[in-house]
Amino acid sequence: MTKVMIGLSGGVDSAVAAYLLKKQGYDVVAGFMRNWDAIANGDFLGNPTLNNDCCPQEADYEDAKKVAAKLGIELFRIDFIKEYWDEVFTYFLKEYENGRTPNPDIFCNKYIKFDAFLKFAKSKGCDYIATGHYAKRVDKDGKTFLYKSYDQNKDQTYFLSQLNQEQIASCLFPLGDIDKTEVRKIAHELELNVADKKDSTGVCFIGERNFKEFLKNYIPAKKGDIVDVNTLEVVGHHDGVLYYTIGQRRGLGIGGISGRVANSWFVVKKDVKKNILYVASGNEDEHLLSDRTIVKNCVFNNVFPKENMHVGCKFRYRQKDLGVTVHIIDETTIELIHDEPYKAVTTGQAAVLYDGDICLGGGIIDQVYYKNKRIDI
């Protein structure tokens, strides 16, 4: 019998995924990953659960144990705290220090769930791992492809875009052909304790945080000016340019300015060296636009884009696919020419390419241009 280890998080998605695997005839075991220790990692500022009697990870573990007992599967508790710090969080902090906006979930998948966890599962004699991600694997002609899930609203292929062929071929995605409503329905029918549990949000394996305060634990605050990019007038003050992201509107603290139309302000540029945060009034300002992007550290699964290939691209999660034309620079670097100017394309985020429902892979946004001028520096 084919043996599978499911990553059981204590949430409803992985719980139902485990049930579906058993129903399909697999020999199922489970692994609960503990990847963050708030006390050991100095996670004090911005942590709303610091004084709780039970930390969220322990509560999740208790939920995972109940699910495993209900389904009759063995549960392993696995500690990847060091791996998470070394491979994911250190990179996360470095990117912020460089003024970029990383996506830790993508690297958490690449280095923890589909690397460290995969190796652990193999050591226990498992043929595959499985997760509760909304994504589909399709096997054709001896190759494994990553497809968008049936539930397009929940599709998570964006977060799986840095996985290589071996990683994708080693994983099963039981939720790929059903939607979230059906997942909840199955959980209720099984009377699972997590049937109505709220979906997890926030930083991968860390959870909900006051993000600015959270970063202050690791990157010192450095106050500076907020400057109108069009007039070069100082319109406010910030706690540190590293705490903001391109396109951000909330939390700027800019009040009404005499003689100005009362539009919302948006972050359009960060000058890390001079510690200046540049903003523009209104979301139609040209400084939010870009027409060309350089993407580095690309990983493609089976289908390497061809020169001048026209594909869909997501520059952030839940964004609709935007048209781009691919130019190949080298094996891991591409240039994307936008079909039209797009807003708030942000360095450090992932650019993920799609050919219809096939997720080709992607890389990290490294440089952003508009009208032949680099705008991210």
CATH code (residue 273): 2.30.30
Same domain, 93 and 135: yes
Same domain, 123 and 77: yes
CA distance 224 to 241: 8
Has 108 been annotated as catalytic? yes
Same domain, 47 and 99: yes
The residues, ordered by sequence, that sit 6+ positions from 192 with a Cβ below 8 Å of its Cβ are 12, 15, 16, 67, 70
CA distance 83 to 101: 21
Eight-class DSSP state of 201? -
Q: State the catalytic residue, choosing from 126, 171, 204, 359.
A: 204
Q: State the catalytic residue, choosing from 108, 126, 171, 298.
A: 108
For each of the chain's 377 residues, which pLDDT tens digit applies? 999 999 999 999 999 999 999 999 999 999 999 999 888 899 888 888 877 777 888 999 999 999 999 999 999 999 999 999 999 999 999 999 999 999 999 999 999 999 999 999 999 999 999 999 999 999 999 999 999 999 999 999 999 999 999 999 999 999 999 999 999 999 999 999 999 999 987 777 677 888 889 999 999 989 999 999 999 999 999 999 999 999 999 999 887 666 566 688 999 999 999 999 999 998 899 999 999 999 999 999 988 899 999 999 999 999 999 999 999 999 999 999 999 999 999 999 999 999 999 999 999 999 999 999 999 98
Task: Choose one of 178, 212, 246: the last residue of a domain.
Answer: 212
- Can you give the pTM of this predicted structure? 0.94
Residue 222 forms part of a structural domain: no
162, amino acid identity: Q
CATH number of the domain bearing residue 72 = 3.40.50.620
Return the residue matching tokens 């946004």.
365
Same domain, 112 and 234: no
Same domain, 314 and 252: no
| Number of structural domains in the chain | 3
Has 171 been annotated as catalytic? no
289, amino acid identity: L
Same domain, 236 and 205: no
For residue 37, the enclosing domain spans 3-212
Task: Choose one of 265, 284, 303: the last residue of a domain.
Answer: 284
